[in-house]
Structure 1
């Protein structure tokens, strides 16, 4: 966790592997996740991410959510989603099929 003036400004969870019962993320599903989507919608569809990083800067909450498990893709495949104030602003993927 990161602190500023005795307040938490960032937190991160990493290298946590979920055993999800949610559906897998593949290239088709990835393309269907559009900018403006809510963070809660992503969690509802695919469960909690394997890597989560949240910061708060100038009153804006930024979240990076990375999925490494329940991915349809090549070895090392992943999907990353970037949110500002709980709305998807950007995403990237490596090795999805």
Structure 2
């Protein structure tokens, strides 16, 4: 079972399908930051969906992945799911229940194992907020920087995936609404990957290069 759950983490990047544009793309590995939270509102008036998503808990390996948000709680948060399917990882002999909710442009997907959330993701939600993250900030990001510190200083990511396995929890977080884009850039995004709450990889488009 542990082997199966480890493979689930490898699927995390496919949950939130994001791809940085090739121009001005940058990847590195380093980190050290701090953060301050702000009151944020989305552009599509579905703030309640995001707030409820933030309440969804992922089961922990030390409790056999029990304790994650169950289906009854998910229905209280998001209503009846739009779709349900069962998924069998390529290795092992377990079955995951995959539920999807669509509200406006927002898609929430949750994968449950024995009625406990193992993977959660949200995409299509965009905050309305001032641009507060620059190419220089990106350059200063070092591996090991805490996800909690990132959120505290720059705000929560617009899109998020989180998956638990037997030995780690992985997060893929995407920021777009708060980026200080390079001159001439109309859009951009930053993808940060965290393992057990610490930055392991980063990628961006639209910020340009720090001077």
TM-score, structure 1 as length reference: 0.90
Runs of 4+ in 1 over 3 A off after TM superposition: none
Q: Which has the higher helix share?
A: 2
What is the Cα deviation at residue 80 of structure 1? Answer: 0.8
What is the Cα deviation at residue 13 of structure 1? Answer: 1.4
What is the Cα deviation at residue 78 of structure 1? Answer: 0.6
Residue aligning to 2:168: 60
Q: Helix, strand or coil: the match of 2:206?
A: strand
User: What count of residue pairs does the alignment treat as equivalent?
Assistant: 96
My pick for the range that moved more, 83-92 or 2-11, is: 2-11
Q: Helix, strand or coil: the match of 1:29?
A: helix
What is the Cα deviation at residue 25 of structure 1? Answer: 1.5
Give CA deviations for 1:39-61 in whole Å, capped at 9, x if unaligned.
01100111010001100112311
Q: How does 1:14-53 map to 2 (within 5 A)?
A: 14-20=123-129, 24-53=132-161
My pick for the range that moved more, 70-79 or 48-57, is: 70-79
- Gap runs ≥5 in structure 2: 1-109
Structure whose CA Rg is larger: 2
What is the Cα deviation at residue 75 of structure 1? Answer: 2.2
Residue aligning to 2:120: 11
Matched, 1:90 2:201: yes
Residue aligning to 2:16: none
- Gap runs ≥5 in structure 1: none
Structure-1 separation of matches of 2:129 and 2:118: 29
Q: Which has the higher strand share?
A: 1
My pick for the range that moved more, 49-58 or 5-14, is: 5-14
